[in-house]
Amino acid sequence: MIKVALDGTLFSECYLRGANRDGMMRLTEDITKYLVNDYKLDISFVSNYFLQQYDAALKNFVEENYSSHIDKIITKNPPVFTNVFKWKGLYKSKLSNLLNPSYKSLNKQDIFHSFYYPFQKNISDIKIKKTITYLDIIPLMLKGYPQELVQRTSAIVDSIKKGYAISISEYSKTDLLNYDKRINEENVFVVPLAASANLFYKNINIADWQRVKEKYNLPDHYFLSVSGNDSRKNIPHLVECFNQFVLQEKHNDLFLVLTGNGSHNRSMLDKINIKKEVKDKIFISDTFIDSEDLAVLYSNAICFFFMSLYEGFGLPALEAMQCGVPVVTSNTTSLPEVVGNAGFTVSPTNVNDLAEVMSKLYHDAALRNEYADKALQRAATFSWERCAKEYTEIFTLVHSKK
């Protein structure tokens, strides 16, 4: 049995965040559910930042979710005064390296694994093998990201040099190896992500649709895109393609629904030179879509568009496929890996190409049904259970290395 100590930071943040959890938190939870039940592994949780708030949150999270592992928490019980430190401020000031205690007990473990955060000094100093889930190096490759995120991503690359990485895609691995030639290719493995089966599934129940439609004041017929405030998501290009499509074909009943950061999307829309008749057909949600409504929103779309310029994986595309909706993505970076032949991949800069795909999918119900079926079949090949099994295989391989 391999003793694996998991960095408790993201588990603490899961508890502190409550229901409003981000993708990395859900990834951490979904994989761990299977890891703790794997007979080949002996899982422990490490309270890795010397903050009373995080320490207490980790204990509460483990007690609620893995009560059989409540005695598997490695901690030195930070004093209450550490609550005066704010997490982000502590990270930026690097005080965490000074405050974090050294855990001699960790030397009895075989592997330390972080699902995201870079290894702090107290972890780097221990002799056991170390692995980290690696997403991407986008903040190091593109401009405009907060300095904190740039520094953290650089620290993640440094952590990989000191141990092993589990990359979320082949593209992300290649990107990393091209960025830093000092990283040993044999120390970087690839395990694709999965989408939550509880949140993303085909749901075309009429009553559910009416409830969600009224809740968010949604149109009856719509193309869908998940968007945020990151320019690489390429939403202006999608809007311009929709503008061309609508002006050419004069559809009165079709809308483009943009969910995510509503204020950002409105500001973006005001800067794009499109006809008012088209702008009136772009629906921007006033609020974030509640998690329990996502499956209905995805499933009732005519098709889903994800025209990002740069992705380490592209989870929204997989989420949409798992809801049985035809998917159109960029043909760049990691997205072809996710979509395979189950969707349309087109240039993220060519307006004519995307407008043509919009027209095909809108007019051809048989084509939509074909790609909806392909999407479901493709999505079924991704699962957190498979993901966790591959993690166990990697832990076993790393453990065997001298």
Quick: pLDDT tens for 280-328: 899 988 778 888 999 999 999 999 999 999 999 999 999 999 999 999 9
Q: Identify the band that residue 123 occupies on the pLDDT scale cut at 50, 70 and 90.
A: confident
Answer with the residue of higher pLDDT: 284 or 227.
Answer: 284
Q: Give the pLDDT mean for 66-77.
A: 90
> Is pLDDT of 262 > 80?
no
Closest CA to 160 of 124, 128, 195, 194: 124
pLDDT recorded at residue 271 = 75
For the chain, what is the largest distance between any 2 Cα atoms, rounded to a whole number of angstroms? 69
> Is pLDDT of 46 > 90?
yes
Q: Would you mind telling me the total number of residues written for the chain in this entry?
A: 402
Say if pTM beats, i.e. exceeds, 0.85: yes
pLDDT recorded at residue 383 = 96
Structure tokens, 49 = 């930042």
Q: Does the CA dihedral 143-149-118-197 come out positive or negative?
A: negative
The lowest-confidence range among 22-31, 78-87, 91-100, 101-110 is: 91-100
H-state helical runs in 202-300:
206-216, 235-249, 262-270, 276-279, 294-299
- Alpha-carbon span 48 to 83, nearest angstrom: 15
pLDDT recorded at residue 93 = 45
pLDDT recorded at residue 287 = 79
> Is pLDDT of 91 > 60?
no
- Alpha-carbon span 136 to 308, nearest angstrom: 14
The lowest-confidence range among 16-30, 35-49, 260-274 is: 260-274
Q: Which helix (H) or strand (E) holds 43?
A: strand 41-46
- Cβ–Cβ < 8 Å for 359, 343: no
The type of residue at 91 is: Y
Answer with the residue of higher pLDDT: 152 or 97.
Answer: 152
pLDDT recorded at residue 307 = 97
- Cβ–Cβ < 8 Å for 135, 173: no
Burial classification of residue 384, based on how many CB atoms lie within 10 Å of its CB (0-12 exposed, 13-18 middle, 19 or more buried):
buried
